[in-house]
Amino acid sequence: MKKIILLFLFILNIVVFSNIISKENEPKIGLVLSGGGAKGFAHIGVIKVLEENNIPVDYIVGTSVGSIVGALYAIGYDYNELKKIAVDTDWDYYLSNGYDRKKMPIEEKIYEEKFIYSFDVENSKLKLPKGILNGQKVELLFNDFMWCAHDIKDFSKFPISFASVATDFETGEVKVFNSGNLYETVRASMSIPGVFTPYKIGDRIYVDGMMASNFPVDVAKDMGADIIIGVNVGGDLKNESEAESIVDILNQSLGYIGKNNTDYQKELVDILIEPDTRHYPNLDFNIADDIIEKGYEAALLKLEELKKYSNDIKYDKIRDKKLIRKERVFVRNIVIHGLEEKNHKSIIKILDITTPNVVHKDFIDNKIEKLIKSRFFGKVTYSIDNEILNINITKDKRNELRASFRYDTDDKSSVLFNLTLRDFSEKSNKATLELKLGNENYFEIKNHYYTGFDRKFGVINILNVSEQNNVYIYDNKGKKEMSYDLQEIKYTALLGYSFKNHNFFGIGYSHQFGNIEPLIKISDYKKENYHYGSLFFMGIHDSLDRKDFSKNGNYIDLNYVLKKISYNDDLDYSYMYFTGKKVKSITKRAVLNNEFDMGLNFGNKLLFIDKVSFGGLSEYKTNIKFYGLNNSQISSKNIMVYKLGTQYEYKKNRYFLGYINYGIYNEKFSKILSNENRVIGGAIGYGADTLMGPIELLLHKSSKNDLEFYFSIGYNF
């Protein structure tokens, strides 16, 4: 009996051992993921089926979005982690050139947020961009997602051997990346021509891999794969009725280029999975859930074929190799790339990293963010190679020509041009020349001089020459009292201090020369020349998440002219303006906005153009915005206005708007709360955030005026 048992155990051992050997000698499986923009989220659904059935993958090759998903899966991300990235990432933010407003320096919020177009100026010539997006934010995002692999330059050392495919810009040939900095090779692979700027690695420039091989099955074969699982989301060419936009035309044009190659690559695939993503746009990254499901459904149709390659032991062994993220890294030295050597010392000082030293990744990220926010550079990224921290500054962005346009029913058309000249140094000084043409014309020269790169302390000098035509003044009953033309020359010197990106305090002196020419003399106004100086204080807190259609944050603006002294008559007075605003999301789509504005004049005799007013939907100088009134319709020495606003985002960047405001005013401050003079008004309408700036279409009415229509497009400047 004992011999029978031993014989049985011996035979069982041989069977089990031979089964293990056969499993280990099973064919090598390659997973090929095509490009296709947002449709590439379908790859994640296919990966879900592979995981559910313990199907191991030995090699992954990806193009464009396929290289993103493939790289993450190769270094250890599983289905749940990939789906979280696809669904939770704010792709609209990362696939744009703008930055998180709450992290912007306060100076940028005050002076810069009004331009639609921006062009670099090099050697006195305009330089057009090589792509709509420079890729700055998405590169830092990928660097963060792939940080666990930052010290592995050979992609065959990943848990799953990986390669990404790009196109050499000069030769048009396929470039296979199987080594290097992972996030850089992925960025090169997804450089869609015209959308992203081409990407430089070493001395070569690359564009999206789809231009040469959108479905690189042959690369997986060359890597050693015996069985190819190919996921193609490139899609078929559209007919005329299906091409509805310029994006469709671009996709169709790019589709021509790769069609023959893709058809050939399909013949090399053993299991071909083609999710039905025909009706999903390539560039809409906000519908990840639906596209992932399409990938899952398509993979299930091939489940019986896929199950042939299920291998629990091998699958577990691969997944157990997941790379571990290490937040602290040893930095032996820092090397700056892309800037003149004379500026390297300044960058090193800004980074403030003592070497050799162990540095936390968050610390490096904060320093890189500081360089980016300076606006001196087109793009700043970093990598770590052999304990060397490489800072890559791909473009010196010192000089810019910017422009903007606005139209509204109150002030009609206006255009704004701005030339900014930056002097990169440890003090990050800059000068601007600005020209506005419209109802108000002005030319302004501004110089910013700072004591350090962080721009905490500084002096701002401003020379402004302006002209306003046919400006109306109303009496307290809203009746037109006069109109006038105004010409003015004003010099301002401001000493300022800013901190934590949200706060600015300054004290300054301004000197003004002006001429007022009445046009319609309804009351006793006469031509007047003025010449006076002003000592003033200003304080601003701005933590709003957006300038227009804000969803969260606070805004406070205090401007107090301590003394206004005339040099040619007996004017001697002061005045104060205050705005306080709190914006809060009450649901995912609904926002509540509370605002209080106040303007006060002190002194018995003052220049009438300095008298505070409210009315109209444009905010400028001494006027407070008020729905239901004309521009500056009510003026008084003392004014208080409360506004309550709501906005509902029914579709991304599309809003229903509603406002109600209440104003009180009186020539005597002691009587302002007596409600002797008051007005109530409101508005309802539509708003949109567009590439041309914000759009508003409103119907507004007040207790003094009938229902009126208001339309505006463009940033307020």
CA–CA separation, 36 vs 234, rounded Å?
A: 5
CA–CA separation, 89 vs 70, rounded Å?
A: 17
What is the reported pLDDT for 491?
A: 96
The percent of the chain in helix, strand and coil, each rounded to the nearest 5, is: 25, 45, 30
Q: Find where tokens 């095509």 sit.
A: 34
CA–CA separation, 421 vs 445, rounded Å?
A: 11
What is the reported pLDDT for 256?
A: 60
What is the reported pLDDT for 246?
A: 56
What is the reported pLDDT for 18?
A: 46
Which amino acid would we find at residue 515? N
CA–CA separation, 504 vs 498, rounded Å?
A: 4
How many residues comprise the chain? 717
Q: Which pTM was predicted?
A: 0.79
Below-70 pLDDT ranges, the chain: 1-25, 235-259, 395-397, 424-428, 453-454, 474-479, 520-527, 567-571, 604, 621
Are residues 55 and 312 in contact, defined by beta-carbon separation less than 8 angstroms? no
What is the reported pLDDT for 397?
A: 61
Q: Compute CA distances 111 → 39, 118, 256, 408, 546, whole Å.
A: 39, 15, 46, 21, 15
Please give the domain boundaries of the chain with CATH numbers for all domains.
29-96+134-313 (3.40.1090.10), 328-395 (3.10.20.310), 399-713 (2.40.160.50)
Per-residue pLDDT reduced to its tens digit, 78-127: 999 999 999 999 888 888 877 778 878 888 787 777 888 888 887 777 77
Per-residue pLDDT reduced to its tens digit, 230-263: 999 986 656 665 655 555 666 666 556 666 778 8
What is the reported pLDDT for 22?
A: 47
Q: Where are the alpha helices (DSSP H) in 25-63?
A: 42-52
- Structure tokens given for 678: 């008051």
CA–CA separation, 62 vs 158, rounded Å?
A: 15
What is the reported pLDDT for 676?
A: 81
What is the reported pLDDT for 338?
A: 83
